[in-house]
Amino acid sequence: MLTASRVAVNTTLSAATGGLTVLFLSLFLGRPGDIGPMLNGILTALVAITSPCAMCLPYAAVIIGMVCGGCEGCTATHTPTATCCCAAHV
């Protein structure tokens, strides 16, 4: 039961941090806060945390989400959504 709870916590923390990082980065760069890049940041963080979610600590899940959200936020310009999702699978 401990492993399942750790997986749930790490997955949620990473996804939330990835989405919020993209949102704050876009606001910092002067772009309007949009739901599309934020969802791409969540997707990127979920892809990144999938493998180590049972083994890493919660602070590491936050760092993974922040790094992936930052990568997605830097590549999320006014391009189609399919192009923005490439950062999730690189």
Which sequence spans correspond to the domains of the chain?
2-89
What pLDDT score does 84 carry? 54
How does pLDDT run across 54-80, given as a tens digit for each residue? 999 999 999 999 988 887 776 655 555
Look up tokens 């959504």; give the residue: 81
Question: How big is the CA angle at 78 (ends 37 and 18), to the nearest 5 degrees?
Answer: 20
How does pLDDT run across 9-42, given as a tens digit for each residue? 999 999 999 999 989 988 888 888 788 888 888 9
Q: What are phi and psi of 50, to 5 degrees?
A: -60, -45
